């Protein structure tokens, strides 16, 4: 994990243009991209013949530790899913569960080519520990819920500020912390106003669920007299530092607000389909030049963290929903999972594309497979034909996390065993 320089040769590089060549990583950065770079000086040389080099994928909405609840409750209405399965289990969570689940998620993300993510959950210092050990990059937020209770509200701020002080900009800068007010229907106006104030004070981002279901919109309309994004605008929460997940149910006025305030959206198609939440108007949002990135949501509602799969789901869903096969092309959805994700996290200058000067968060995908033959348009194959299992090598912050499908960090079997046991422990509680 301590390579000082890595030379990747003979790769099909998906940069601003697509061409075969070499790329040099020095420390944590990409320092050279060229047709052919001399290999004498590199500590590590990777021959990427037959492989495509892409930016590490960026998952802008996750609940990592929910991998422990993968497959726990499928094919259920949202309220039964939450009330009868997820919330009762979550009531018993502790830091060790969250650590074990997050570590499992990190292994899964590395194996499927994700190097950066935006996570909201609980016991986030334990999640930070897992992310640090895995060598990944993540923005972490404690999920704040007060349901109008002032005592609960105070605790949520205390916990978030504790996590900011303990974890923000740790792990060589790979771990950042954000405020995570859960949603307009689970947080009081006081909480949301406090979040805006404190986020400004600490200079951190805000990660929130907005407009996921129609019933959420009805509830906010009834309680606040306006739709979720209108309400958040009225109370001053919105800004270019807000990452709003889902954004399924949007009026034209809300789209205007999102555009005006430069709010970043995270589209989660598999989760929205599985829970029958609805279809976000992604192609319309992109045509308005709103920044829409891609997220998997938690493994309890997907049920995996595979962004290659999610790209295909996003493209296909948008086409059939608009009855227009030309919308959300492979190139557009690939941007959602890379540069738009970087922009959402405020890291567009550092992440999301293969360019000199950017952080070395890089993924090699093996194209020598029957389902990726014949080789024609690499981005088409990545979006429409590949899946996470085709990922070969993963580099994050200049460190090799996986090489030729072998994990260089963490003990994969041990992580799976721990997660299996942690899940059993969690579900045996009542």
85, 157, 202, 384: which one binds its own copies (CB under 8 A): 384
Nearest CA-CA partner of 315 in 259, 382, 248, 250 = 382
Neighbouring residues of 11: CB distance < 8 A, sequence distance ≥ 6: 20, 21, 22, 23, 48, 51, 52, 53, 364
Binders of its own copies among residues 166 to 195 (CB under 8 A) are none
> 47 - beta bridge partners?
9
Return the number of the residue (163 or 402) whose C-beta is nearest its own copies.
402
Return the number of the residue (347 or 407) whose C-beta is nearest its own copies.
407
154, 158, 377, 429: which one binds its own copies (CB under 8 A): 377
88 phi, psi to nearest 5 deg: -60, -35
Q: Does 71 bind its own copies (CB under 8 A)?
A: yes
329 phi, psi to nearest 5 deg: -60, 165
Binders of its own copies among residues 250 to 309 (CB under 8 A) are 270, 272-279, 299, 302-306, 309
Binders of its own copies among residues 304 to 323 (CB under 8 A) are 304-306, 309, 312-313, 315-317, 319-320, 322-323
Please tell me whether residue 51 adopts helix, strand or coil conformation: strand
Smallest gap, in angstroms, from Cβ of residue 305 to its own copies? Answer: 7
14, 104, 247, 362: which one binds its own copies (CB under 8 A): 104
Q: Does 397 bind its own copies (CB under 8 A)?
A: no
Total chain residues near its own copies (CB under 8 A)? 73
Quote the CA–CA distance of 310 and 384 in Å, as a whole number.
10
Q: Does 161 bind its own copies (CB under 8 A)?
A: no
Return the number of the residue (147 or 375) whose C-beta is nearest its own copies.
375
E strand or H helix at 89: helix 87-90
Asked if residues 207 and 183 have their Cβ atoms less than 8 Å apart, the reply is no
Return the number of the residue (223 or 325) whose C-beta is nearest its own copies.
325
Q: Does 225 bind its own copies (CB under 8 A)?
A: no
- Taken as a whole, the chain contains a residue count of 430
Which stretch, 162-170, 190-198, 282-290, 413-421, contacts its own copies (CB under 8 A)?
A: 413-421
Binders of its own copies among residues 111 to 130 (CB under 8 A) are 111-112
Please tell me whether residue 395 adopts helix, strand or coil conformation: strand
96, 230, 262, 412: which one binds its own copies (CB under 8 A): 412
Return the number of the residue (272 or 338) whose C-beta is nearest its own copies.
272
Return the number of the residue (46 or 419) whose C-beta is nearest its own copies.
419
Quote the CA–CA distance of 69 and 223 in Å, as a whole number.
32
Asked if residues 26 and 399 have their Cβ atoms less than 8 Å apart, the reply is no
Q: Does 68 bind its own copies (CB under 8 A)?
A: yes
Q: Does 239 bind its own copies (CB under 8 A)?
A: no
Q: Does 88 bind its own copies (CB under 8 A)?
A: no
Smallest gap, in angstroms, from Cβ of residue 330 to its own copies? Answer: 6
Quote the CA–CA distance of 290 and 282 in Å, as a whole number.
9
List of E strands, 145-277: 175-181, 206-210, 242-246, 264-267
CA-based torsion, 370, 406, 109, 25: positive or negative: negative
Which stretch, 24-32, 181-189, 339-347, 414-422, contacts its own copies (CB under 8 A)?
A: 414-422
10, 45, 76, 256: which one binds its own copies (CB under 8 A): 76
Q: Does 428 bind its own copies (CB under 8 A)?
A: no
Nearest CA-CA partner of 120 in 230, 254, 246 = 246
Asked if residues 336 and 352 have their Cβ atoms less than 8 Å apart, the reply is no
| CA 156 to each of CA 99, 145, 210: distance values in angstroms, whole numbers, following the listed order | 20, 7, 19
Smallest gap, in angstroms, from Cβ of residue 324 to its own copies? Answer: 6
Quote the CA–CA distance of 291 and 359 in Å, as a whole number.
21
Q: Does 107 bind its own copies (CB under 8 A)?
A: yes
Q: Does 385 bind its own copies (CB under 8 A)?
A: yes
375, 404, 406, 414: which one binds its own copies (CB under 8 A): 375
Quote the CA–CA distance of 346 and 348 in Å, as a whole number.
6
Q: Does 374 bind its own copies (CB under 8 A)?
A: yes
């Amino acid at each position: 994990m301590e390579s000082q320089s890595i030379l990747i040769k003979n790769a099909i590089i998906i940069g601003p243009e697509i061409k075969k060549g070499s790329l040099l990583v020095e420390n944590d950065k990409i320092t050279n991209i060229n047709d052919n770079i001399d290999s004498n000086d590199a500590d590590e040389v990777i021959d990427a013949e037959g492989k495509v080099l892409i930016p590490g994928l960026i998952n802008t909405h996750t609940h990592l530790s929910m991998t422990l609840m993968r497959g726990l409750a499928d094919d259920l209405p949202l309220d039964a899913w939450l009330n009868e399965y997820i919330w009762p289990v979550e009531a018993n969570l502790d830091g060790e569960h969250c650590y074990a689940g997050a570590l499992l998620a990190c292994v899964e993300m590395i194996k499927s080519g994700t190097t950066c993510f935006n996570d909201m959950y609980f016991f986030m210092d334990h999640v930070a520990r897992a992310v640090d050990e895995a060598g990944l990059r993540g923005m972490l937020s404690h999920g704040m819920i007060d349901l109008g209770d002032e005592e609960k509200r105070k605790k949520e701020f205390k916990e978030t500020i504790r996590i900011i002080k303990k974890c923000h900009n740790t792990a060589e800068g790979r771990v950042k912390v954000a405020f995570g007010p859960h949603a307009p229907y689970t947080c009081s106006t006081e909480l949301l106003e406090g979040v805006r104030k404190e986020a400004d004070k600490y200079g951190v981002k805000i990660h929130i669920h907005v407009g996921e279901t129609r019933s959420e919109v009805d509830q906010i309309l009834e309680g606040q007299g306006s739709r979720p994004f209108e309400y958040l605008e009225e109370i001053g929460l919105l800004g270019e530092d807000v990452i709003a997940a889902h954004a399924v149910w949007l009026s034209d006025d809300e789209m205007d607000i999102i555009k005006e305030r430069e709010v970043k959206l995270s589209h989660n198609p598999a989760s929205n389909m599985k829970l029958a939440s609805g279809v976000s108007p992604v192609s319309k949002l992109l045509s308005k030049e709103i920044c829409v990135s891609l997220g998997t949501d938690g493994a309890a509602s997907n049920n995996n963290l595979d962004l290659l799969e999610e790209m295909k789901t996003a493209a296909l869903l948008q086409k059939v929903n608009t009855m227009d096969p030309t919308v959300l092309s492979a190139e557009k959805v690939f941007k959602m999972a890379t540069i738009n994700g970087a922009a959402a996290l405020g890291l567009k200058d550092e992440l999301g594309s293969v360019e000199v000067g950017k952080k070395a968060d890089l993924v090699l995908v093996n194209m020598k497979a029957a389902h990726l033959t014949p080789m024609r348009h690499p981005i088409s194959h990545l979006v429409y034909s590949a899946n996470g299992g085709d990922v070969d090598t993963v580099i994050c912050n200049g460190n090799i996390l996986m090489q030729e499908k072998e994990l260089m960090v963490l003990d994969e079997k041990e992580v799976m065993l721990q997660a299996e046991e942690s899940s059993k422990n969690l579900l045996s509680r009542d």
